[in-house]
Amino acid sequence: MSCSRRNFLKDAAGAAFVSSLPLSAFVILTTEEAKAAVAAATVRWGYLVDTNKCTGCGMCVKACKNENEIPYDAPVTRTWVERYVVTKDGTTHIDSPDGGRDGFTSDKIRDEEVDPENIAKAFFVPKLCNQCDNPACVQVCPVGATYKTEDGVVLIDREWCIGCGYCIMACPYGVRFFHPDHKVADKCNFCYHRITKGMMPACVESCAFGARRLANLRDPDDPVTKIITTERVAVLKDEYGTKPHVFYLGLDNNVR
């Protein structure tokens, strides 16, 4: 038996390539499985934020932290409320003390007085995970610990996450953070444990003003879906191509 150096290198390269493929790369769905996947997809969760209605009471942030066991005093939160105050000279003042957890009870912004006579407009913008169709955070996960479910929600597997933080850096909306207790990445999941039981997310339930609402985008009769499909809504950072599924009514150009 002879073995030229050329052949050996060829075989070795081939073997290295094959062994580097994960086994699951070869999984091919049978027709039945593929059909089942499509049929099951009767739900695609979306979310509507009406910035015209938000009063900045912060009850949503408080409810979210309690419901999802996010350490109450740690500087992390799954959802937060930003305040925008635009003065007549065009400057925008933005703040979100403790994510808006205790509401906005002072008219000072970052210890700065803004003369009320000088304010052109002021509004509050709740932010949360956009449950993107092309989630950048999922693409970068090196271990398959974060993924998109069939109903469109991006979840994090706390058993599997190694806490590397790539996803936290990858999210263009900055919704991910490091959970101080579980030592894994964490973010809003539309209260997956509630919406799969037919309940509303804690933030939606706690909003007295109807500024936050949940939609099943696959159900054309869903009243919130109707608003999203028939009224003028906007999404954040559309240019990133992430296809976010949190829609905003009355979104101002100052909001990034």
Partner 1 sequence: MKRHVLHPLWVAVGVVGLIFLARLVLVPDDFGVHGDSFTYNYYRLGNIDEWKNFPVKYQGSDTCVECHKDNVRTHRRSPHKRVQCENCHGPAASHPDDIEYLPLNRERAMCLRCHADLDYPESSARSNLPAIVDRHHKRRRECVTCHNPHDPREDVE
Q: Does 169 bind ligand HEC (CB under 6 A)?
A: no
Q: Does 199 bind ligand HEC (CB under 6 A)?
A: no
- Using the rule CB under 6 A, which residue among 48, 49, 54, 59 binds ligand HEC? 59
Number of chain positions touching partner 1 (CB under 8 A): 69
Among 66, 71, 162, 163, binds partner 1 (CB under 8 A): 66
Residues 67-96 that bind partner 1 (CB under 8 A): 67-68, 85
**Please, which residue, 206 or 225, has the CB nearer to ligand HEC?**
206
Q: Return the number of the residue (107 or 231) whose C-beta is nearest partner 1.
A: 107
Please give, one letter per residue, the 3-state secondary structure of the chain. Answer: CCCCHHHHHHHHHHHHHHHHCCHHHHCCCCHHHHHHHHHHCCCCEEEEEECCCCCCCCHHHHHHHHHCCCCCCCCCCCCEEEEEEEECCCCEEEECHHHHCCCCCCCCECCECCCHHHEEEEEEEEECCCCCCCCHHHHHCCCCCEEECCCCCEEECCCCCCCCCHHHHHCCCCCCEECCCCCCEECCCCCHHHHCCCCCCHHHHHCCCCCEEEEECCCCCCHHHHHHHHCCEECCCHHHCCCCCEEEECCCCCCC
Residue 19, binding choice from partner 1, ligand HEC, none, Cβ under 5 to 8 Å by partner class:
partner 1
Give yes or no for residue 203 binding ligand HEC (CB under 6 A).
Answer: no
Write out the residues near partner 1 by the rule CB under 8 A. Answer: 1, 3, 8, 12, 15, 19, 23-25, 27, 29, 34, 37, 52-59, 62-63, 66-68, 85, 102-107, 116, 119-124, 134-135, 138-139, 144-150, 155, 157-160, 189, 192-194, 196-197, 199, 202, 205-206, 208-209, 211
